[in-house]
A and B are shown apart, each in its own frame.
Chain A
Amino acid sequence: DVVMTQTPPSLSVAIGQSVSISCKSSQSLVASDKNTYLNWLLQSPGRSPKRLIYQVSKLDSGVPDRFSGSGSEKDFTLKISRVEAEDLGVYYCLQGTHLPYTFGAGTKLELK
């Protein structure tokens, strides 16, 4: 199985601050169709996970452009510029290139 190593496990931030979350995979996530199936999800308290970014850097509809994703092969980053209160929760990376799908352990974003 592909292991997704996500860091840091938690972040304490002030509103308006920028943060980055890293996710590294144990295998290349480039699929046979040349796409890279790396998603970033946000789980707000008491809610189902919500996809923010798919295929490394594509923003879902309605996701503010304060969010950005980058990376390739085995090394990926989620950046949040100018954190707002609504951004708080747990962020997960998810690889969908190889079955079984695997998740990072999560990064809890909290207010300082």
Chain B
Amino acid sequence: EVQLVESGGGLVQPGRSLKLSCVASGFTFSNYGMNWIRQAPGKGLEWVAYISSGSSYIYYAETVKGRFTISRDNAKNTLYLQMTSLRSEDTALYYCARPIRGHWGQGVMVTVSS
């Protein structure tokens, strides 16, 4: 069974940083691209970032480009999202996902507020 377990969320002040992690199991993590997708409270789903299996290809949404960094450690089956210069509009539930395959974590909440 595929499992994606996110961690690292919390309350952070505007302008500060936070790093999310996602531990994957139930599939060969190193073979697949991975994504971060977020959902602001009461809003729809927004794709945030993608990283290919070997980290050669990385893409970001325009709303986070230059502030967020996606990375992975295939030896640890772990996906990361380093978030810097956080803004109130980054407040959301962040999912680690392979959405095309139908694999989603439970999400981790990030709240940016003073």
Contact = CB atoms under 8 A, between A and B. Distances in A.
A96 B104 CA distance: 15
A57 to B, nearest CB: 15
A41 B107 CA distance: 16
A45 B104 CA distance: 15
Nearest to A43: B45
Interface residues of A, number: 22
A103 B100 contact: no
B106 A101 contact: no
B11 interface: no
Interface residues of B, number: 17
A48 B47 contact: no
A102 B47 contact: yes
Interface in B59-79: 59, 61
B95 interface: yes
A77 interface: no
A100 B44 contact: no
5 contacts: A48-B95, A50-B104, A101-B47, A101-B100, A103-B46
Interface of A: 37, 39, 41, 43, 48-51, 54, 60, 90, 92, 94, 96, 99-106
B40 to A, nearest CB: 12
B65 to A, nearest CB: 11
B106 A100 contact: no
B105 interface: yes
Given A51-B99, A54-B100, A103-B46, 15 more contacts: A39-B100, A43-B45, A48-B104, A50-B102, A50-B104, A51-B101, A92-B45, A94-B45, A96-B100, A100-B47, A100-B59, A101-B47, A101-B99, A103-B45, A103-B47
Interface in B17-62: 35, 44-47, 50, 59, 61
Nearest to B61: A100
Given A39-B100, A48-B95, A51-B102, A99 B44 contact: no
Contacts of A48: 95, 104-107
Nearest to A105: B44
Nearest to A94: B99
